[in-house]
């Protein structure tokens, strides 16, 4: 084999790829895949490759981009430093480790006699920002039957993922001089809306994700100390589950507040996969870890209902932090894990 997972990960980390600037990392991956004998294709700053033919088609999807380096590092962030059994650097854990393990895992699965199925490997750009990469790549791919999203989960398969609904509530009043009174105070109205929103309770629990959550995360009202404000805006962050339709949640908020409600974003929908689906069974068998529900969002939200699991080496709590790292042992375990998952899925889905 022309490359190993540790050296691939180190080279990917040493090729900075902040969202929107994935060009060099995409070219590196393309060259690596060619060296493995694959025929990679580019779609903008995303890369994909198809391995094998016929049988069930499994999409392995991870991302090339990272969040910015940020402050607080005590080790080099963009060198692919290998130290004390760890590969350090921005993107090592999220998600270049998963991507490297997927590449080498797929190579291993196809290295020992061709299994009966097709793997589509996709490394998307802009997962951390707009999720436009996966949306651009999808129409180019052979139609997958199931997907594996490469994100650090300690190799436990996430079988459901919360969605994100962002609402704005605008309270309107009437401006007046604070000394004279009168008018209508929009900040006071918004304050009552905040308390009303705290009173919302959810009763429909999702088996893997539990209840949705709702938080008022921003408030802005008033321009001057001596003017009764005529407008105050709240931002509401709702982490959704498949147990509630987004419209239903919007309705719930509308029913509680006095202000006007508008939807800022609902593009990240909540998703789940039946526990009995072959891709879930194969992921559980490959890693021996229990399935769980994930509160964090990913490209999974864009797969248009395709059955999927989100699983990969590493720990999501290390993502986006200074001194981000992936243990070499985690990476290598990930390679074997994806190899077993691919073979297991082809067996289960091919027999079905």
Binding site for Zn ion (CB under 5 A): 94-95, 151
Give the closest residue to 166 by CA, choosing from 66, 297, 316, 68.
297
CB of 330 to Zn ion, least distance (A): 15
Least distance between Zn ion and beta carbon 113 (Å) = 32
Nearer to Zn ion, 145 or 151 (CB): 151
CA–CA gap between residue 41 and residue 215 (Å, rounded): 42
Of 151 and 327, CB closest to Zn ion: 151
- 206 or 310: CB nearest Zn ion: 310
Q: Which of 144, 156, 61, 119 is nearest to 344 (CA)?
A: 119
Nearer to Zn ion, 146 or 297 (CB): 297
In this structure, the number of other CB atoms found within 10 A of the CB of residue 268 comes to 21
Q: Token digits for 350?
A: 């091919």
- Provide the minimum distance between the beta carbon of 37 and Zn ion in the complex, in angstroms, as a whole number: 28
Question: Contact 238/212 with Cβ under 8 angstroms?
Answer: yes
Rg (CA), the chain: 23
CB of residue 229 to Zn ion, shortest distance in Å: 40
Q: How far is the CB of 294 from Zn ion (least distance, A)?
A: 11
Beta partners for residue 171, in sequence order: 232
Cβ distance to Zn ion smaller for residue 134 or 238: 134
Q: Residue 13 CB, nearest distance to Zn ion (Å)?
A: 14
- Hey, what are 155's tokens? 């190799």
φ and ψ of 70, to 5 deg: 75, -170
Comparing CB distances to Zn ion, the nearer of 94 and 145 is 94
Residues 59 and 308: their CA atoms lie apart, in Å, by 9
**CB environment 198-220: b (16+ within 10 A), e (fewer):** eebebeeebebbeebebebeebe
Mapping DSSP to helix (H, G, I), strand (E, B) and coil, where does residue 161 land? Answer: strand
Nearer to Zn ion, 91 or 173 (CB): 91
Task: Give least dist CB 59 to Zn ion, A.
Answer: 16
CA distance 215 to 208: 21
């Amino acid at each position: 084999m022309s490359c190993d997972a540790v050296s691939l990960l180190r080279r990917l980390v040493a090729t900075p790829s902040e969202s929107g600037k994935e060009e060099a990392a995409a070219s590196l991956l393309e060259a690596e895949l060619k060296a493995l004998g694959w025929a990679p294709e580019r779609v903008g700053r995303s890369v994909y490759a198809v391995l094998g033919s016929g049988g069930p088609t499994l999409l392995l999807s991870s991302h090339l981009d990272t969040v910015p380096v940020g402050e607080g590092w005590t080790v080099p962030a963009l060198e692919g430093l290998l130290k004390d059994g760890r590969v350090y650097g921005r993107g090592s854990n999220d998600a270049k480790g998963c991507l490297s393990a997927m590449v080498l895992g797929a190579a291993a699965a196809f290295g020992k006699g061709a299994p009966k199925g097709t793997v589509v490997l996709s490394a998307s750009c802009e997962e951390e920002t707009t999720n436009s990469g996966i949306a651009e790549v999808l129409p180019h791919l052979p139609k997958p039957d199931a997907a594996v999203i490469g994100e650090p989960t300690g190799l436990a398969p996430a079988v459901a993922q919360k969605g994100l609904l962002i609402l704005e509530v605008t309270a309107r009043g009437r401006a007046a001089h604070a000394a004279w009174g009168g008018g209508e105070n929009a900040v006071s109205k918004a304050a009552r809306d905040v308390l009303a929103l705290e009173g919302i309770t959810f009763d429909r629990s999702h088996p893997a994700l539990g209840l949705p959550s709702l938080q008022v995360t921003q408030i802005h009202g008033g321009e001057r100390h001596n003017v009764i404000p005529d407008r105050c805006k709240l931002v509401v962050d709702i982490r959704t589950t498949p147990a509630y339709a987004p419209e239903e949640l919007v309705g719930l908020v509308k029913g509680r507040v006095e202000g006007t409600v508008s939807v800022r974003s609902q593009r990240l929908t909540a998703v789940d996969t039946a526990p009995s689906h072959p891709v879930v069974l194969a992921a559980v068998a490959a890693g021996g870890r229990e399935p769980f529900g994930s509160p964090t969002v990913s490209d999974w939200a864009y797969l248009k209902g395709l059955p999927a699991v989100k699983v990969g080496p590493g720990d999501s709590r290390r993502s986006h932090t200074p001194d981000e790292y992936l243990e070499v042992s985690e990476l290598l375990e990930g390679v074997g894990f994806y190899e077993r998952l691919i073979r297991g899925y082809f067996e289960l889905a091919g027999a079905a």
